[in-house]
Amino acid sequence: MSTPAGYFDRMYAGAPDPWRLGERWYEQRKYALTVASLPRRRYRSAFEPGCSVGALTAQLAGRCDRLLATDRVASAVRAASDATRDHPHVDVRELVVPDEWPQATFDLIVLSELLYYFDDRTLQEVLTRTVATLEPGGTLVTVHWNHPVPEHRLTGTQLAPLLTSVPGLDTLLDVRDPDFTLHVLTRQHPDGRTTPSPAAAEGLV
């Protein structure tokens, strides 16, 4: 079973930022590495489901022309809206994935601390929708906590082989930090071409 919705409601009822995303150095470092891992300087349209209070959202905003950030908890959506109020190109909405997946395509999708909450069927649906709405050559970034948590069905380490075997995606970066696993994957082109690395894109190799 996926983690029940009531778990998130209880977490946010007890504190406006229950995981202290805005203050922990661990989170700040992880977000900095996540943003630094993006292979493109700028993205046209990005999607960040499960944005929580918007700590990562605010950093992604500087790299995107448009950014849709969503969460299922209303108070988190309000906090993320406040965190990005100086970025008018960021749209924060209350939305449940995968059932309310947006009808749009993106050249960047960020799945941060999200996938381990889903049961097998729902996880597969999330990944299927991700690939379907990620444009050819687009970037998928995933980052997940490596340590066991009762409410998490999987750790970042356990998610790794599932992510790197998704049809239609190529692995550009695989980071195994002691505390989290970060992947950067790219959507294959219809003709099977892979997306060039940043150095190759600038003609350095």
Question: What are 41-67's pLDDT values in tens digits?
Answer: 999 999 999 999 999 999 999 999 999
Coil vs helix vs strand at 38: coil
Which residue in 164, 153, 155 sits closest to 119, CA to CA? 153
Cα separation, 84 vs 61, whole angstroms: 8
Which residue in 36, 25, 86, 79 sits closest to 61, CA to CA? 86
* Average pLDDT score, the chain: 97
Cα separation, 76 vs 156, whole angstroms: 23
Preceding peptide of 98 cis, ω within 30°: yes
Q: According to the model, what pLDDT value does residue 36 have? A: 98
Q: According to the model, what pLDDT value does residue 192 have? A: 83
Alpha helices in 3-155 (DSSP H): 5-14, 25-36, 55-60, 74-83, 120-133
Q: Which helix (DSSP H) or strand (DSSP E) does residue 66 occupy?
A: strand 64-71
Cα separation, 205 vs 197, whole angstroms: 9
Q: According to the model, what pLDDT value does residue 121 have? A: 97
* pTM higher than the cut 0.85: yes
| Ranges under pLDDT 70 in the chain | none
In the numeric block, which tokens belong to residue 174? 């695989």
Q: According to the model, what pLDDT value does residue 180 have? A: 98
